[in-house]
Amino acid sequence: MKPTDTTNPDYFHKVVDCQWGCPAHTDVPAYIRMVAQGQFTDAYMENRKSNVFPGILGRVCDRPCEPACRRVRVEDKPVAICRLKRVAADHRDNIEDRLPKPPSKNNGKRVALLGAGCASLTVANDLRPLGYDVTIFEAHDTTGGLMRTNIPQFRLPPKVLDEEIGYILDMGVDLKLNHRIESLRALLDEDYDAVFVGTGAPRGKNLEIPGRYDSDRIYIGIDWLESVAFDHVRSIGERVLIIGVGNTAMDCCRTSLRLGATDVKVMARKPRGFFKASAWELEDAEEENVEILVNHSPKEFVVEDGKLVGMKFDLMEYKVGENGRIDRGKVTGEKFIPCDDVVLAIGQDNAFPWIERDLGIEFDQWECPVVDENTMMCGREGVFFGGDSAFGPKNIIWAVEHGHQAAISIHKYCQGEDIEDRLPMGLNLESQKMGMHEWSYSNDYNPASRRLMPHVDLKQRFKKLDIEVELGFTAEQTIEEVERCLNCDIQTVFTASLCIECDACVDVCPVDCLTITANGDEAELRKRLSAPAENTEQALYVSAELPHTARVMVKDEDLCVHCSLCAERCPTGAWDMQKSTILVPYALDEARVDQPKTASGGSGA
Amino acid sequence: MSYIAKPKISHPGLRKNALGLTSRDYEGVVSTLCAGCGHDSVTAAIIQAVFELDIEPHMLAKMSGIGCSSKTPAYFVSQAHGFNSVHGRMPSVTTGANAANRDLMYIGVSGDGDSLSIGVGQFVHAIRRNLNMCYIIENNGVYGLTKGQFSASADIGTMPRKGMPNQQEPIDPVSTALSLGATYIARSFSGDKEQLVPLLKGALLHSGFSLVDVISPCVTFNDHEGSTKSYAYTRQHYNHVINVDYIHPSKEITASYAAGDAMTIYLHGGDTIILRKVDDTYDPTSRASAFKYLRERFNAGEITTGLLYVNETRAEMHELMGNVDTPLSKLPLDELNPGQDELAKLQADYR
């Protein structure tokens, strides 16, 4: 193998699994260390730089970082990254003087943002400090989009939303509530320099089976949740069936329990392991005694005398292939399940009835606009998409990242620059050595197990719709949990010319990830390392030829716990522990046009 | 040394031996030697060897004297027996222990100071008795613990970090052992575990005295330009004559060797060692030719390594003395000590 090119920022970035897994590339280990030091405000600002809504995401993020966490590979349960984000948000001081300030004079460019959800708000957050005149059009009478209408208050209190959205609006955003855009053509005819569409995927999927329209007690999940959020719906029958087993279904079943239902069943077409819902959302629903019935495929709504009495299901049986895929299944029987109400939570579609089809914007077969994944611009110049409206339903953190990228594009577009010519990611490395055996971080491996989020008592929580179930980590839990982070951003950096091949690092490595051996091609090399290197998703870090024997140092990045022992045992300093800071460019960095073309990484906050 | 202990976490794919243990289970406490010390690599090689031999930790006794080298038994197989004796007296203590319990496997770890200066008398007599033990010398040419004075194994002309070169003849433990009739003599290098681990395994299974002289550089006091026991010098002057592949009796010999360059040695206990000659003029079963070869190579400035001499025909201490098979420590008291009357009879025989 060739020596690993560590000048490419992606190499060390990938080692920080959580940061690499996060669409917005939040520097997770860095903020966890700040939380560990009690620097909650700094931790909050570190988060805000990349993900803009730490308080919201600290509660309801889809957490792509957690399944990616190295700890999963080392001992099964990831660090409770999301919970620690909430710790930073809950305990921060007033941050208003640390927020970016809009300039005293605007730059004369006007940008229209459609929808007051997380995508549009991120664009506003990035463009207002550059002096753009930003207008947000929102159909409802309140901000937040699906974050407010579809996530129940017992998971995400309105106060948290109001605060974090307020930080952005207070930069001088022109917010037009109750202002539904009925025609994009009409908007484009107005005097805007750019338009950003962040209107989400607002159409809940329907279930066209017999009986669907014979009762008024069959609801579309996201519409029903919205009605609950706006206080239009205040009760539901005792027996409720939820169709579908995604995250919306979990919100629907738990909301039902708070509106008077006592017997809530979630009906899954497939077996466990093939559910769309996140594991932790399933857990929380099952804790509330929601029953999940698997292998039930909806067949018919049964309505007698105009009253919904239940549903018929086909009982299914599936085969799981060797590749882990499930087949279409076969029907083995039929079952009737009585109920008073049914909520359909089987997915969402994009819908743009207000976008004329002759504006130069292409749509695919799923009604999704054709949007460039890097620039977020569609076929019509100056029109950008982000969030669920761009590529179909994803999640908040993806919407935020779309917003950051769209803001860069909008800025470059408005300034007449090439929107494809964007700043690359950058990388800083900084040694963390403080003394002979001292490092600037807590390097010892802590075997503590993942802390469990304390919840409001099961009886108490159903009394009102807005009692937040999760209480947040206690100080004791926080202290334990932060130590579980393996500090993957403190990189093991090797300098081949200093190595005397004494084997000290190889001998001391607790997870046997180091080998000094003759070079070879990757597949062959992986077979003869100190311990099997079977996870090909994780890179091998290969050195230049070593001075004494022309062998190479090979590190399997897979299970390294970043304990620093290799560097402590190295007599010549060939190994060093260096903090990698990934410099993620934001619109503010692009705006420094006269500066050299590197991202500052720290300026976006 | 490090401030933190080696974390208990390990690679989930770690191999297990016949006892269901991993190599991590054969570790000891965290080393307090200098970072990069060759002795830590020897420790790792010992761990690897005893792990691969499926040795039950409680059947192992770790013996040592004084010096950097003699600290190392603390760093492997924590569950084994251990005795850290007076300076240079490890061979006597091991002789006593072995006399009392011949069932244990004895591994003595010593250094060039402990074995070739203060303890040289003990060292030579342990060889003479053909004491059944594996005797490792972690040989770095200096007294590291007292800040790097030359030891008895320092070569003529080798330079200290500061001051005059050494003028005195070195004592070579390998030639010494050869002249005294040791039955398993090997030399290796802490930086070459591929060679060292099989040599140690053979040494542990050999019946009788086995010496493994390991060049183990002192990274603090003897790893500079002008030193003849540095990592760089050892690698540059390495003459590797015999490869050892240890083979378990239960395993078939599957590796194929070209005729003439392979040599099978049958050990007392039924185990087998396959030697592969790198230099096919070398005969590791002839004391005379081994001695001649070593001197020639030494004069040419080379460090000859590998299994340099092996003799499976000589009886070890217990066999020479005609002792019972049962360890003395396990004999019932009335057998071990038949009483005054028996003693009187015995003495009468000599009158």
Is the per-residue pLDDT at A43 higher than 90? Answer: yes
Q: Which domain holds residue B245?
A: 23-321
Cα separation of A464 and A467, whole Å? Answer: 6
- Confidence class of residue B251 from pLDDT cuts 50, 70 and 90? low
Q: Which two tokens stand for residue A527?
A: 């077979």
Chain B residue with minimum CA distance to A514: B11
Residues 6+ apart with CB under 8 A from B298: B172, B304
List, for residues A207-238, the tens digit of each pLDDT value. Answer: 999 999 999 999 999 999 999 999 999 999 99
* pLDDT digit string, tens, across residues B32-78: 999 999 999 999 999 999 999 999 999 999 999 999 999 999 999 99
pLDDT of B225 higher than 90: yes
Tell me the domains of chain A and their CATH numbers. Answer: 100-202+350-414 (3.50.50.60), 205-348 (3.50.50.60)
The shortest C-alpha distance from B44 to chain A (Å) reads 6
Tell me the average pLDDT across A433-454. Answer: 92
Task: Using the predicted structure, report yes or no on whether residue A603 has a pLDDT greater than 60.
Answer: no
On the question of pLDDT at A489 being above 60, the answer is: yes
How far apart are the CA of B43 and the nearest CA of chain A, in angstroms?
A: 9
What one-character DSSP code corresponds to residue B164? Answer: P
Predicted local confidence at residue A601, as pLDDT = 47
Helix (H) or strand (E) holding A189: helix A184-189
Contacts within 8 Å (CB) and 24+ apart, A12-16: A12/A427, A12/A429, A12/A489, A12/A491, A12/A580, A12/A582, A13/A425, A13/A427, A13/A580, A13/A582, A14/A539, A14/A557, A15/A488, A15/A489, A15/A491, A15/A539, A15/A557, A15/A560, A15/A580, A16/A488, A16/A489, A16/A580, A16/A582
- In this structure, which amino acid lies at residue B183? T
Residue B6 lies in a domain: no
Three-state secondary-structure class, residue B350: helix
Tell me the average pLDDT across B116-124.
Answer: 96
Residue of A nearest to B30 (CA): A508
Provide the pLDDT for residue A602. 46
Tell me if B10 and A75 make a contact (CB, 8 A cut-off).
Answer: no
**Which residues on chain A place their C-beta less than 8 Å from a C-beta of chain B?**
74-75, 437-438, 443-445, 447, 500-504, 506-508, 510-513, 531-532, 534, 548-549, 559, 561, 563, 565, 568-572
Contacts of A93 (CB under 8 A, 6+ apart): A40, A41
Domain for residue B158, yes or no?
yes
* Domain tally, chain B: 1
Residue B258: band (very low, low, confident or very high) from pLDDT cuts 50, 70, 90: low
Of B7, B37, B232, nearest to A444 by CB-CB distance is B7
User: In this complex, which of A503, A511, A548 lies closest to B44 when CB atoms are compared?
Assistant: A503
Q: Which residue of B has its CA nearest to A533?
A: B13
pLDDT digits (tens, 9 = 90+) for A349-401: 888 999 999 999 999 988 899 999 999 999 999 999 999 999 999 999 999 99
pLDDT at residue B89 above 70? yes
Kind and range of the H or E element at B334? helix B333-336
Cβ within 8 Å, pair B191-A561: no
pTM: 0.90
Q: How many CB pairs under 8 A join A and B?
A: 98
Q: Is residue B39 part of a domain?
A: yes
pLDDT tier, A604 (very low <50, low <70, confident <90, very high otherwise) = very low
Interchain CB distance below 8 Å, A511 and B9: yes
Flag whether pLDDT at A288 surpasses 90.
Answer: yes
Which chain B residue's Cα is nearest to A443? B4
Q: pLDDT tens across A124-179, in order?
A: 999 999 999 999 999 999 999 999 999 999 999 999 999 999 999 999 999 999 99
Beta bridge partners of A453: none
Q: Are strands B142-143 and B149-150 parallel, antiparallel or unpaired?
A: antiparallel
Of B3, B7, B191, the CB nearest to A502: B191
Task: Quote the pLDDT of residue A332.
Answer: 95
Rounded mean pLDDT, A20-42: 97
Mind listing the pLDDT tens digit for each residue in A497-546?
Answer: 999 999 999 999 999 999 999 999 999 999 999 988 999 999 999 999 99
Mean pLDDT estimate for chain A: 94
Could A507 and B41 be called an inter-chain contact, meaning their C-beta atoms sit closer than 8 Å? yes
Contact A568 B35 (CB under 8 A): yes
CA distance A507 to chain B (A): 6
Q: What 8-state DSSP symbol labels residue B7? A: P
A chain contacts of residue B7, beta-carbon cutoff 8 Å = 444-445, 447, 510, 561, 563
pLDDT score for B280: 76
Give the other-Cβ count within 10 Å of B249's Cβ: 11
The single residue listed with the structure tokens 């008073």 is A340
Find chain B residues with C-beta within 8 A of A576's C-beta: none
- The reply to whether B8 touches chain A by the CB within 8 Å rule is yes
- Choose between A521 and A593: higher pLDDT: A521
Q: Provide ipTM, 2 decimals.
A: 0.90
Indicate yes or no: CB of B35 within 8 angstroms of CB of A569.
Answer: yes
Contact residues, B window 210-269, toward A, CB-based 8 Å cutoff: 217, 219, 223, 231-232, 235
pLDDT at res. B247: 63
Q: What is the domain-level CATH number for residue B89?
A: 3.40.50.970
User: What is the pLDDT, as a whole number, of residue A504?
Assistant: 95
Q: Are strands A110-114 and A194-197 parallel, antiparallel or unpaired?
A: parallel
Give the residue-averaged pLDDT of A241-264: 96
* pLDDT beyond 50 at A597: no
The answer to the question of residue B332 being in a domain is no
What is the structure's pLDDT at B249? 54
In a 13 Å sphere around the CA of A579, the CA atoms on its Cβ side amount to 18
B221 neighbors B148 (Cβ within 8 angstroms): yes
- Cβ–Cβ gap B40/A572 under 8 Å: no
What pLDDT score was predicted for residue B269?
A: 72
Which tens digit of pLDDT belongs to each residue from B157-210? 999 998 999 999 999 999 999 999 999 999 999 999 999 999 999 999 999 999
